[in-house]
Amino acid sequence: MAQSMLKSKKMPKEFWAQVVECAVYLSNRSPTRSLGNKTPQQAWTGRKPSIAHLRIFECMAYAHIPDQKCSKLDDKSEKYVFVAYDASSKGYKFYNPVTKKIHYKFLLFLDDRDEPSDIASPSTLLTSPITPQQSTSSSSASSNEGPHGMRSLRDI
């Protein structure tokens, strides 16, 4: 399970420990035939485990930055990537692509629909802002053109 999680999300091998930890956590909460369709955790504790807190592996999360720590034009949240469950508490483990550190957090907005694109390879672990001259699309259109129906500031 861990290898398929690592390969399907195209994560660098440096995250193998968090991937294995997440896979074990999920396996312990998944029913198995050898235990009569009970989960290993249910067989151990006698209680059915809650799965309400489970999240999609490597989904994006955003942590609020208090107003006292940022100015008006600064971002009001930091971007994190979910990498594992914290077994010792009810929190999660998140990777910050900017600081390249794992953090333990409780109160984050998790966006299961959004997948990170900035940790796909070790060379892209630190993202850089896109300048107006750079284009992220691979279309054959000129890189100076904006979105359809938009004019550049030079034309105004």
Domain membership of residue 151 (yes or no) is no
Q: What local confidence, expressed as pLDDT, does residue 1 receive?
A: 84
Comparing CA positions, the residue from 150, 116, 152, 118 lying closest to residue 132 is: 152
Q: Is the pLDDT score of 124 beyond 70? A: no
Comparing CA positions, the residue from 92, 82, 111 lying closest to residue 11 is: 82
The tally of domains found in the chain comes to 1
If pLDDT is split at 50, 70 and 90, which confidence band does 126 have?
Answer: very low
Q: pLDDT of 26-59, one tens digit each?
A: 888 888 898 988 988 889 999 888 877 888 777 8
Domain membership of residue 137 (yes or no) is no
If pLDDT is split at 50, 70 and 90, which confidence band does 113 have?
Answer: low
Domain membership of residue 40 (yes or no) is yes
Domain membership of residue 19 (yes or no) is yes
